[in-house]
C-alpha cells in the first residue's frame, strides 16, 4: 500500500447568474431564492479548488503535474465560465439551476474524464468568501 | 484625528460597454468584460471616515451605525443587482469601478454627519483589482 498525497490547484472565474426555477411562479421563486432570483442577474468571483489524490509517481515524484492540472482547469472550466452568464451563455445550465452545488457537480463531471482514473478528485467551489461547497463527499 | 474604516460587501452583475461604439470596438477595448449577457463579482467596499473621538463615547462615529448607513444608502441598492440596469445613480454611466466608486461617494457623502468627514472609499472588484477615491479635491 503506497502513500497517498492530495494536491490542490486553485483557479478562479467571474460570472453572472440568477437562481430561478422556471416551473414556479415569480412569487415562489422570490420566496425560495430571495434576492438571488432577481431578474437582471447578479454575479460572483468564484474561486475553484481542485483536489487530486494519489500516490506520487516513482519517476517524477508528482501525483499529477500541477501545470497540466492548471491548463486542464483553464481549458475545461475557466474558458467556459469566465465572464459569462451561467444561465444564458452555457449549455450546462440551460436546464439546470446554477447553484454552487450544481456548478461543483458540473465541474467535476467536466474534469473527471481528463484525469487518470487511479486518482480521486474533489471539487471545492467558493461562491463568496463565506459560502463554499464540496463535491463529491 | 482618527480614521475609522467599515467594510461592507455586495454581489452584482455588470458589463463594460459603451453604447455609442460598435460591438467590435467594445470587444476590442473591454474584452471579455463587454460580454452582452453580463458577468459579475463579489465587491468589497471599504468606507473610511475621519474625526476626533467623542469625549463621552470614545467613538468618532458608532461603527455599527456606519454599517447600517452604508447598507441603507448603498448596498441595499447594489446587492444582487445588475449595476447597468437596476441602479438609479449609475444610469447613463459606464459601469467601471472607477465610475461606481465616484457614484457611491456622491450617494453616501451627504449622509455623513459633520464634523465627521468621509475620507476615502476603496472598492475591490477582484483579488487583483481595486480603486480608491478621496472625493473631488
> Among B26, B30, B38, B71, which would you mutate to test the A interface (most chain A Cβ atoms within 10 Å of its Cβ)?
B38
Burial class (CB in 10 A: 0-12, 13-18, 19+), A29: buried
B89-108 residue pLDDT tens: 999 999 999 999 999 999 99
Set of chain B residues whose Cβ sits within 8 Å of the Cβ of A33: none
Strand stretches in chain B, DSSP E: 2-14, 39-51, 81-82, 117-126, 129-133
Q: Is the peptide bond before B115 cis (omega within 30 degrees of 0)?
A: yes
Nearest CB among A42, A83, A129 relative to B12 is that of A42
Burial class (CB in 10 A: 0-12, 13-18, 19+), A23: exposed
Which are the contacts of B94, defined by CB distance < 8 A and separation ≥ 6? B16, B17, B18
The question of whether B39 is a catalytic residue gets the answer no
Are A16 and B37 a contacting pair at CB < 8 A?
Answer: yes
Contact yes or no for A105/A137 (Cβ under 8 A): no
The question of whether B111 is a catalytic residue gets the answer no
Q: Which of A36, A47, A76, A92 is catalytic?
A: A36
Contact yes or no for A87/A38 (Cβ under 8 A): no
> Among B12, B13, B87, B91, which would you mutate to test the A interface (most chain A Cβ atoms within 10 Å of its Cβ)?
B13
- Rounded Cα–Cα distance for residues B46 and B59 (Å): 18
Mean pLDDT of B64-87: 98
pLDDT band at A100 (very low <50, low <70, confident <90, very high): very high
Helix count (H) and strand count (E) of chain B? 5, 5
- Rounded Cα–Cα distance for residues A59 and B136 (Å): 62
Rounded to the nearest integer, the mean pLDDT of chain B is 96
Are A35 and B79 a contacting pair at CB < 8 A?
Answer: yes
Q: In this predicted structure, what is the pLDDT of residue B137?
A: 74
What global pTM score does this model have?
A: 0.91
Q: Is B77 on the interface with A (CB under 8 A)?
A: no
**CA-closest candidate to residue A77, choices A115, A126, A111, A121:** A111
Q: In this predicted structure, what is the pLDDT of residue A1?
A: 64
Burial class (CB in 10 A: 0-12, 13-18, 19+), A137: exposed
Residue B130 has pLDDT above 90, yes or no: yes
Are B39 and A128 a contacting pair at CB < 8 A?
Answer: no
A55-96 residue pLDDT tens: 999 999 999 999 999 999 999 999 999 999 999 999 999 999
Q: Is B33 on the interface with A (CB under 8 A)?
A: yes
Dihedral over Cα of B106, B108, B111, B114: its sign: negative
The neighbouring-strand residues paired with B116 are: none
Mean pLDDT of B124-130: 96
Q: In this predicted structure, what is the pLDDT of residue A49?
A: 98
> Among B26, B32, B40, which would you mutate to test the A interface (most chain A Cβ atoms within 10 Å of its Cβ)?
B40
The question of whether B24 is a catalytic residue gets the answer no
Closest B-chain CA to A36: B80
Rounded to the nearest integer, the mean pLDDT of chain A is 97
Residue B113 — φ and ψ, nearest 5°?
A: -75, 125
Amino acid at each position: 500500500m503506497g502513500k497517498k498525497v492530495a494536491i490542490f490547484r486553485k483557479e478562479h472565474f467571474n460570472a453572472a447568474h440568477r437562481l430561478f426555477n422556471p416551473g414556479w411562479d415569480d412569487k415562489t421563486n422570490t420566496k425560495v431564492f430571495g434576492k438571488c432570483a432577481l431578474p437582471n442577474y447578479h454575479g460572483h468571483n468564484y474561486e475553484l479548488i481542485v483536489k487530486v489524490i494519489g500516490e506520487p509517481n516513482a519517476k517524477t515524484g508528482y501525483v499529477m503535474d500541477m501545470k497540466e492540472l492548471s491548463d486542464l482547469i483553464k481549458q475545461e472550466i475557466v474558458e467556459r465560465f469566465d465572464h459569462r452568464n451561467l444561465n444564458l451563455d452555457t449549455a450546462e445550465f440551460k436546464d439546470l439551476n446554477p447553484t454552487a452545488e450544481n456548478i461543483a457537480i458540473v465541474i467535476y463531471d467536466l474534469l473527471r474524464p481528463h484525469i487518470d482514473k487511479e486518482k480521486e478528485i474533489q471539487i471545492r467551489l467558493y461562491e463568496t468568501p463565506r459560502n463554499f461547497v464540496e463535491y463529491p463527499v | 484625528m482618527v480614521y475609522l474604516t467599515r467594510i461592507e460587501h455586495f454581489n452584482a452583475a455588470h458589463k463594460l460597454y459603451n453604447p455609442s461604439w460598435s460591438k467590435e470596438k467594445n470587444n476590442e477595448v473591454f474584452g471579455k468584460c463587454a460580454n452582452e449577457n453580463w458577468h459579475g463579482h463579489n465587491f468589497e467596499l471599504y468606507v473610511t471616515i475621519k474625526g476626533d473621538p467623542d469625549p463621552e463615547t470614545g467613538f468618532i462615529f458608532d461603527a455599527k451605525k456606519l454599517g447600517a448607513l452604508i447598507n441603507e444608502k448603498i448596498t441595499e441598492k447594489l446587492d444582487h443587482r445588475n449595476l447597468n440596469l437596476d441602479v438609479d445613480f449609475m444610469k447613463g454611466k459606464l459601469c467601471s469601478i472607477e465610475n461606481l466608486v465616484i457614484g457611491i461617494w456622491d450617494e453616501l457623502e451627504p449622509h455623513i454627519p459633520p464634523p465627521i468627514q468621509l475620507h476615502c472609499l476603496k472598492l475591490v472588484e477582484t483579488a487583483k483589482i481595486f480603486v480608491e477615491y478621496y472625493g473631488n479635491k
